[in-house]
Structure 1
Amino acid sequence: MRSPQEEAALAVVDRMKEGWQKLDGELILSLFHDDAVMQSMMKEPYRGKAEIKAMLDGFFAVATRVEMEVLNRRVEDNVVTLERRDHFTARGKSGVLPAVGIFEIEDGLIRTWREYYDWGMYERQIAD
């Protein structure tokens, strides 16, 4: 049985997933602490809402579809792990990207989000 803290953490991540699927950057951004950190592990982290917003704006300028197919979802205390296949369309090209996201939730908001995926695989799928 999950604790109330775990249920709340899952709800935040489920809402974030909804934001990506709706291509709603404002919804996604609203789920982060002001000083949150988001990092695709092969890149430098985005620190704070301004940097996260710039990343989201850049992605949504080229993306027209994001569907997160969750393969496994785990929560322990305030940490949620999602193993996913992200189905996307960006720059007019469709692809699938396996990924794992680790979310640390604090006070009902995302404090840190670490993403593990193959950046090269993504780039090859959207290359001209």
Structure 2
Amino acid sequence: MNETEIVTTFLQKMAEHDVETTVAFLSEDVFVHNMPVAPTHSREEWKQRMLAYENTEGAMKVQVLNIAGDGKGNVLTERLDSFLRNGSWIEIPIMGAFTVKNGLIVSWREYFDMGATKGLSEVEPDGS
């Protein structure tokens, strides 16, 4: 798979709540920063964060609106992530920046309006 296919597949598996397959796309020392939420610095740390969200969130959809790779491992995504809560979908526009090396995501940064996430979960911006 090329860099954009890796990121697209990763996002699809994340939307399917397939945590084990999702973490297999990440390097051991992956840096993940979903701003303004506190960053994680390893695959295991990110996995624990995702498992915490798994306990609070319902269905999720990821719609990739635009994706661009530079052929050197850098991938930018423009997405609309949607979360089902109490029978209604909450949509959050997100810009993502990924770095892929040797077939694994080594860095992933997300930019979104935290105000748009109100009511999604009980997980606080500091990750607790």
Same fold, judged at TM 0.5 (above)? yes
2:83–2:89 CA contact under 8 A, matched in 1: yes
Output the CA distance in 2 between the equivalents of 1:20 and 1:41.
Answer: 18
SS at match of 1:16: helix
Alignment match, 1:115: 110
Alignment match, 2:56: 62
Q: Which segments of structure 1 move beyond 4 Å, counting only runs of 4 or more?
A: 90-93
Map 1:1-128 to 2 at 5 A.
8-76=2-70, 77-90=72-85, 94-123=89-118, 125-126=119-120
* RMSD, matched Cα: 2.0
Output the CA distance in 1 between the equivalents of 2:24 and 2:85.
Answer: 23
Amino acid in the other structure paired with 1:105: V
Query: Greater helix share, 1 or 2?
Result: 1
For normalisation by structure 2, the TM-score amounts to 0.85
1:66–1:86 CA contact under 8 A, matched in 2: yes
1:21 is displaced (CA, Å) by 2.2
1:91–1:126 CA contact under 8 A, matched in 2: no
Unaligned 5+ segments in structure 1 are 1-6
1:20 is displaced (CA, Å) by 1.6
1:44 is displaced (CA, Å) by 2.1
Unaligned 5+ segments in structure 2 are 123-128
Alignment coverage as a number of residue pairs: 121
- Tell me the percent identity: 24
